[in-house]
Amino acid sequence: MSISGNNFFSYKRPDSHRIVEVVSDPKALVEYRDWATRHMGIGANFPFKGKGQRVGVLDTGCDIHQIDLEGQVTGANFITGNKETPAWRDQNSHGTFCVGEIVAKENGMGVVGVAPQATAFSARVLYGDEREQWRGDVDGDISNAVLACIKENCGVISMSLGGPGASNSLRDALERAVDAGIIPVAAAGNERLDGSPYASYPACYPTVISVAAANKSDMPAWFSTMGTADKPGKPEIAVASLEYYWGCAPGLTAYQKMIGTSQSTPMIAAVALLWREARAKLALEGKLAFPTGPAVLSEFRVWLQRVAKDTNKNGWDPELGYGVLLLNPSDMPSA
């Protein structure tokens, strides 16, 4: 198993080894369908499901007709000059997997997302192949997608992508999103074997929650990019590897396995939806006002640091951030 070395212009998809299979009977995945959610502590009886929440997923598109995603997802294209029909379709499978981790329905088949009652806005910003090498303003395309998420009333933005260069346009777009009360989440990257620390954007922006990966034993994953001591916000939180977890792929009943910080990121994005749902419930009951503007991100960030489990007993460290996300229902916001 090896980390993919695909360079997409200035961007790398932070994923790795994948196995794509077409499953004729989605019920056959019952053994693995909720491995990740169960490992995180978010089982079928978890009190929040993402009801009333919406996430923007910036990636390679999505097959919105996949059996677990039908009716949950809308799609749009932000790749300048893309003339494919439909332009938001996913030819790579990376985006479909990430969307499914968040909103795949509880339909007794296939896989289950962390926030199965939420909806998703799939913003296609990458082809996911060699065409990225000659593309123009990738940062501009991603920036436009971020701004579209504001108009789409997304409460969270999930970005399983990254590159070594900072961008003024993307930084500004993310600041506008945070001002609008959105929680941006991005992958720390899979560059550990290339040398650490490695700065990956948008994960390195202070307006973004940076997500690392842990292995199935909740220790640092061998591929997950390390942060630096003078930038304690990178990484901030880790999620167990999805090596043994099936996810959605393009096709009515297609599924695949993936592993990487790309797969950890949507899990945190989905938990952000659950957090928003819990806070909205408290506000509706008159127990605790819902934060506004940048306070949404800052309060979610403080909550993450509080509930993260310090599995390697290091406090904050450059491998797992503040720890691994392993939840109990009592960890959710309460009055």
At 173, give phi and psi (nearest 5°). -65, -40
Catalytic residue among 200, 262, 264, 317: 262
How many beta carbons lie within 10 A of that of residue 105, not counting itself? Answer: 19
> What does each C-alpha distance from 284 to 31, 60, 117, 234, 245 come to in angstroms?
38, 36, 19, 34, 36
59 is catalytic: yes
CB 26 within 8 A of CB 69: no
Q: Which two tokens stand for residue 72?
A: 């949950």
How many beta carbons lie within 10 A of that of residue 136, not counting itself? Answer: 11
Catalytic residue among 16, 39, 93, 94: 94
CB 298 within 8 A of CB 188: no
H or E segment and range at residue 290: none
Catalytic residue among 15, 59, 68, 141: 59
For residues 276 and 271, what is the distance between their CA atoms, to the nearest angstrom? 9
> What does each C-alpha distance from 102 to 202, 231, 267 come to in angstroms?
20, 28, 6
How many beta carbons lie within 10 A of that of residue 312, not counting itself? Answer: 16
CA-nearest of 334, 209, 333, 236 to 275 is: 333
CB 220 within 8 A of CB 245: no
298 is catalytic: no
167 is catalytic: no
Which positions are catalytic?
Answer: 59, 94, 262
